[in-house]
Structure 1
Amino acid sequence: MTLEWEQVIVDAADPVALGRWWAGALGWVTVHDAPDEYEIRPAPDRLPGLLFVPVPEVKTVKNRLHLDFRPVDQRAEVERLLALGARHADVGQGEATWVTLADPEGNEFCVLGARQG
């Protein structure tokens, strides 16, 4: 059996606004722009992507799935993401080498430190 990872679905109150935020944060391109589906990818023909879809309920608890990113400069990247509208998030991580942030709709993600070794 062969599977290709197409995308991660992200529930959103405002799929277009959240999709645009993530496109700017990641430097990805928009491949589908509609009120009920907003998809971004690293490049038009590169997978996987992120697909933002509307849901009526608001986020109330910690995400069961989150994304981790490893930048070259953690401090600079955290500052850039905060300036774009991310905020610090506490999910019980305690003292950690990564920084937990949340996007404008509260979805947690981590900005990792330098790779060891």
Structure 2
Amino acid sequence: MNKKVFIFDDNEDILELCTLILEDAGYEIKTSATSNHIVDQVSAYMPDLIFMDNWLPDVGGIEATQELKSHEELKHIPVIYFSANNDVSMLAQKAGADSFLPKPFDIQELEEIVNTYIGK
């Protein structure tokens, strides 16, 4: 069984890039351009790891992450906050995320953080 990663980002290029890299590394990927109904979206897929962008339409990344982290059945799933914002570490902390990845990132950084949390 492959480990599953759910990526929330409204940037198609980022979703495509992350999907290519991580599928290539043997992970199963699901993506979404919005974090609306975050609990329903995540419950339906039950990923091993979540990447959460800061700037998402309607419900932002902070609110979505806080919602996940206050949910009994989902709060154990690590959330990696990723953003081009200079304050990404502060935003991640505010959101209650487990870690963060500043954009732009390189392929190695992406693979390393995934390995750290759900490595083979």
TM-score normalized by the length of structure 1:
0.33
Larger radius of gyration: 1
Q: Structure 1 or 2: larger strand share?
A: 1
TM-score normalized by the length of structure 2:
0.32
Q: Structure 1 or 2: larger helix share?
A: 2
